[in-house]
Structure 1
Amino acid sequence: MKLNTDTAVELTTLSQSPGVQQVLTEYQKVQDELAVARTRLTEDNPKIINLENQAVALKNQLEGRVAQTIGNSEYMPEQNLQIGNLKQTLTENLVKSEVERLALTNQVAELKQVLLVNKNRLDSLPRLEQQQLQLQRQLKVAQVTYEQLSKQLQEVEVVENQNVGNARVISEALVADKSVSPIIPLNLALGGILGIILGAGTALVLESIDNSLKTVEEAKRLLDYPLLGAIPQAEKAKGSEGVGEVELPVLNNPYSPVSSAFEMLQTNLSFSISDKMLKVIAISSSIPGEGKSFVAANLAVAVAQLGRRVLLVDADMRRPRQHKIWEQNNLVGLSNILVGQTELQTTSKEALMTLDIITAGTIPPNPAALLNSQRIATFIKEATQEYDFVIIDCPPLTLVADALMLSKLVDGILLVVRPGVANTGSVNATKMLLEQSGHQVLGMVANGVTPESSYGGYYAKSYYGAKQSHKNGKVDASISKIRIL
């Protein structure tokens, strides 16, 4: 065939490329029409000129696709762009034979290496046999020595038992009526006083070092944003990985306090903007660990349960979380859409009847470049046309600039704050970033609220009781006391 392996691969690739073959077919068709027209018309005829222009354009397009397919811009004759089945089969056999040759060459090299290793081990056997004999002689000598020492020990013990002591008691020792030391009451008193002093000092030192936010009221005072909701700390669930928080309590436990809190949150969101309808929001936090992905997922479920078509987008392409919450694969997602590899309709996954999710996708080397491109604006515009409500899970504000880039394309930002995790430094930095950017902040939602960190000292257990029983198709809920947040 007079072909090398690289040329054979290129010919096979071009003959199997639909784009190259489609342009080549159109180019040949135009050449045929041009040849027929030239038999009837002159060279300056408009039809001849039009066909010549088409032929030139198709030839340039064909050369461009050939260069794009094989990765170089060298000229490739047209007869090489279409090869017959026989030649294509021979080309494939040539490539396979070359691959097998390389594989066998590597296998021979590995077998030679194994042979060399085994030969070295075989050469070391006489030396190891000599060492074994030497160790056996040492063991025999040690056993004989041990038997002799054991026999001598028994003889010494027999002699020792035959000796009679010559000591006798002159008088009994005097015992004091009471102990001189320790004085137990004094020691207990001193220990209690020192324990109290050390405990109070340690508490004061830890309090001065700890700069985390203790309560929702403190977070609201520092941020000065409307408090749209307070999410109680989710219940713990046992799984294969140990004990952890329930990821989707709104979906799995609709009568829980967390579900009621998310219903209140989505209601307050609808009143956060009065001049237009809220369609796209970005959810972020100041630092990791505050539960922004948890809030985004459950808020999407709460809105979807109202019958609205909701799209949940995981835009955290550095540490994505939504695919783990929804137990979905993350092979294709937002990053693939932004680079043009796929479309919104084919990438979205149906989580509920009215809820679709788009995971982060393949983690790119530079997520900020994708989020700052025109494609993200086009994607959000297309999403708002397809869905009633779009929720975007963004990275933390103080770590990267991704959330600030996305916030200029949405209707507003919902800030998640978790008492005990967020600290004053990160909260102040977040507020400064949001004020400098000038973006719309819808408000804040407190996540993981406990009775100690709740706003104003109040904490809502549940509108319904802690235990609910389903009997004869009816829900028997024991109504407990309610404290209003």
Structure 2
Amino acid sequence: MSQLEDNNYNIDKDQGEAIKREIRRYTHYWYWFVLGIIVALIGAFIYLRYTPKVYNASAKIKILNKTKGLELPSSAFVFNRSNINLENEIEILKSYRIIENVVDRLDLTMRFYEEGNVLTTEIYRLPFNITKTVSNDSIYVGSSYRIVVKPNAFEVTPSSTSKVLNFPNFDTTKSNHNLPFELSLKSKNTIGAVVGKSYIVSLSSISAITNGLKNRIEVGVLGANSDLLKLDFKSQSKSKNERVLNTLIDVFNEDGINDRQEVSRRTIDFIDERFTKLARELDSIEVDIKDYKQKNNLITLDSDAELGISQRTISEQELFEVERELMLSDLLKESIEKPEDKSGLLPANIGLDNSSINGLLDNYNTLVFERENLLKTSAGENNPNVVLLESKLKDVKSNIFASIDSYSKQLEASKAQIARKNRKFSSQVYSLPAKEKAIVDITRQREIKQSLYLFLLQKREEAAINLAITEPSIKVVEYAISNGAPISPNTRSIYLMALLAGLIVPFGVLYVIQLLNTKVKDREDVQERNPKIPIVGELPKVKSDQLIFKNPEDNSVQAEAFRILSSNVDYILPVKEKGTGRVIFCTSTIKGEGKTYVSINLSLSLSSINRKVLLIGADLRNPQIHTHISEEKHKPGLSNYLHDVNYNWRDAIIKGFEKHPNHDIILSGSIPPNPAHLLTNGRFEKLLEEASKEYDYVVVDTAPTILVTDTMLISKLADATIYLVRANYTEKNLLNYSKELNESGKLKNIAYVLNSVDTNKSYGYGYNYGYNYGYGTKE
């Protein structure tokens, strides 16, 4: 194994040992943990027994898209995300207006409770009839009433007056009272189930209930990519939870429907208002068209244009005929005045439309033919018949001229009249475009109004249809469902928390105690501060009457501990010349750590193995060895020897324990005024030299090191220094002093002995000392 792997192994091993050490520190107090768990579980049972049960109900809804018509898919649609702002819908769901409507609809301003021996529980309804006689708006201040069901009556006590009101026969309607409700019994057959029970009726203002309900209703999105909303409500009543959520869903749905219906209603009202105005405007336009046509003699533009053109054509044709007649009359007149025919005949049937002239022309030509016939036959120009005919011809010709002139004048007059008529028809035709423009403008206004009228009529029908068949605002995915088990208190969690508390509280208390406890508790505390100083023994904590094991054959835990100590001390003592004993100093930092107790028992354990041992009481300031052997404090001893050069130390030796013949004791003697001077006058060193030649071990009980310098003055004389540390007595900071003494060399060959260790904390004693190997533990 490499050096690095070896170091890692050692680190892991040290960490494991540290963990085990910490565990052992707490497992020693296992009974506190057991007691803590028992108390915590009992507390949890009591808490669960008398804590009101709170149930939760949940519902799920989907907000429907309110947009109408066909829409192109947007990016949100492509990525399967809703176009609806769910945050806005959540705020509307939890709005004061919606919640207030729920409170009013369910009449939640009146709440009911059933009193138990310990617990008062909210219930959804009373087991008898109750009718509220005040409106929600009239409740401004909260009040409560206690109802006790007696065998023959209701007893009601208002909290404001504490005056008991009695209502016999379970009917409040037959008595005068100021209660805001009426009570009556559903059936007298059920009275036995409620007699003796007490109920509380609580009335609160609608604002207080609404605000409370608003804070208790939870609305959230079901998932990250979901467009569903989850509604939760908690109370002590399952039915109340479900009714509140279902009513909230209904109110929210109706609110959305009413919003859209309100749009339809307002649309219909607006259209109806516009219909009245449009009807008046259309009537006005129709009257204007009628007046304009009457004023301008119009029927229709097409018929009037066709009539005007036909009249103009006829007029022009008549004018043409008159001018033709005039021209023919002029030609005829010219022909009569300058006849081209020598016979004197006049043209006939030239197209004149005058029967008189045509008849005169025919008559004239007939006379001409008669004259010519006469001339040709027998008569000459002077023939009376010829002359008569000539006279007739002149007369007829004269008549022809007169007729032509008269006819021409008549034609001129007709021409002028026809020309005027023609101009009138022409002006009528020429004015048609202006009239058409005017009539088109008026007609356009009428068509606009008519199209608007038809459009609004269509929209009115659409609004009426939408009003009649308004679609819901939401889709209920899941109506309110209550959990079977209460969510609070959670039995499993409470017991688990109680179990943890039963472990954590004792652990915390022990941790704080240990944290505040600055005393040395076990060998780990010593090794942690001074790892270089070995620990040669751990002495168990014993009762005060068993401090000294006087019997060498004693097999108690204490005796075995000191035998182990004596064996371990022997290992740290240096090897000396044969026949020379070894000197062991027992000291401590402060008074009370057990150095005298250890000195005596260590010396006894060494003598029990047939070794000659001398115990010297060198604590001249506060001697204690005499208290364990029932000797006087001022019996001659070490101080006498040190002071009197003629005093033999052997004269101070006493036997303190009958069953230990190899054990001798030199007490401290009288308390001197100058112990330090006496210990350094050389006689103490001489004593040790002489005693080490006669004894195998010399055990010296010295003074505490931090209080006086006595021990440091003689420390060089020791072969080993047993340094006492008392568990749960010695301060941890005092270990630093012994560490300094070791590092500075002021004390020689130091080894710790941990005194008064709890048997459960020691390495050996925790297992009943040697796994109960043939010994019994004595208290």
Which residue pairs with 1:364 in the alignment? 672
1:403 to 704, 708, 711: 711
Which residue pairs with 1:251 in the alignment? 551
Which residue pairs with 2:630 in the alignment? 327
Distance verdict in 2 for CA 1:448–1:397, change over 3 Å: same
CA distance in 2 between counterparts of 1:301 and 1:231 reads 15
1:388 to 696, 701, 721: 696
Which residue pairs with 2:648 in the alignment? 343
Distance verdict in 2 for CA 1:253–1:219, change over 3 Å: farther
Which residue pairs with 1:36 in the alignment? none
> Is 1:313 paired with 2:313?
no
Q: Quick check: 1:257–1:463 contact (8 Å CA) kept in 2?
A: no
**CA positional deviation for 1:201:** 6.2
CA distance in 2 between counterparts of 1:198 and 1:388 reads 55
Give the partner amino acid of 2:633. N
Q: TM-score, normalised by structure 1?
A: 0.52
Count of paired positions:
287
2:776 to 452, 455, 466: 466
**CA positional deviation for 1:466:** 1.9
**Alpha-carbon displacement from aligned partner over 1:56-115 (angstroms, at most 9, x marks no partner):** xxxxxxxxxxxxxxxxxxxxxxxxxxxxxxxxxxxxxxxxxxxxxxxxxxxxxxxxxxxx
Distance verdict in 2 for CA 1:197–1:231, change over 3 Å: closer
Q: Quick check: 2:637–2:666 contact (8 Å CA) kept in 1?
A: yes
2:568 to 268, 271, 276: 268
**Alpha-carbon displacement from aligned partner over 1:374-399 (angstroms, at most 9, x marks no partner):** 22212222222332211000122222
> Is 1:285 paired with 2:585?
no
Q: Over the residues paired in the alignment, what is the CA RMSD in angstroms?
A: 3.6
Give the partner amino acid of 1:348. I
Distance verdict in 2 for CA 1:350–1:250, change over 3 Å: closer
Distance verdict in 2 for CA 1:437–1:312, change over 3 Å: same
2:516 to 197, 202, 209: 209
CA distance in 2 between counterparts of 1:179 and 1:195 reads 38
Q: Quick check: 2:586–2:595 contact (8 Å CA) kept in 1?
A: yes
**CA positional deviation for 1:439:** 3.7
Identity of aligned residues (%): 30
Q: Quick check: 2:742–2:750 contact (8 Å CA) kept in 1?
A: no
2:536 to 220, 228, 240: 228
**CA positional deviation for 1:202:** 5.3
> Is 1:419 paired with 2:419?
no
Larger Rg: 2
SS in 2 for 1:271: helix
CA distance in 1 between counterparts of 2:614 and 2:525 reads 33
Q: Quick check: 1:282–1:406 contact (8 Å CA) kept in 2?
A: no
Q: Quick check: 2:540–2:765 contact (8 Å CA) kept in 1?
A: no
Which residue pairs with 2:739 in the alignment? 431
**Alpha-carbon displacement from aligned partner over 1:181-225 (angstroms, at most 9, x marks no partner):** xxxx99xx9xx8999998776555433322212211221332222
Give the partner amino acid of 1:220. Q
Give the partner amino acid of 1:447. N
CA distance in 2 between counterparts of 1:179 and 1:204 reads 48
Q: Quick check: 1:312–1:358 contact (8 Å CA) kept in 2?
A: yes
Query: What stretches of structure 1 of length at least 5 have no aligned partner?
Result: 1-168, 237-243, 469-485
Q: Quick check: 2:552–2:605 contact (8 Å CA) kept in 1?
A: no
Query: What stretches of structure 2 of length at least 5 have no aligned partner?
Result: 1-162, 168-195, 202-487
**CA positional deviation for 1:455:** 3.9
2:198 to 155, 160, 177: 177
Q: Quick check: 1:315–1:360 contact (8 Å CA) kept in 2?
A: yes
Deviates more, 1:263-272 or 1:192-201: 192-201
Q: Quick check: 2:712–2:746 contact (8 Å CA) kept in 1?
A: no
CA distance in 2 between counterparts of 1:451 and 1:250 reads 21
Distance verdict in 2 for CA 1:172–1:314, change over 3 Å: farther
Q: Quick check: 1:368–1:402 contact (8 Å CA) kept in 2?
A: yes
**Alpha-carbon displacement from aligned partner over 1:334-391 (angstroms, at most 9, x marks no partner):** 1111110732111110223111111111112232222222222122222223322110
Give the partner amino acid of 1:264. I
**CA positional deviation for 1:306:** 2.0
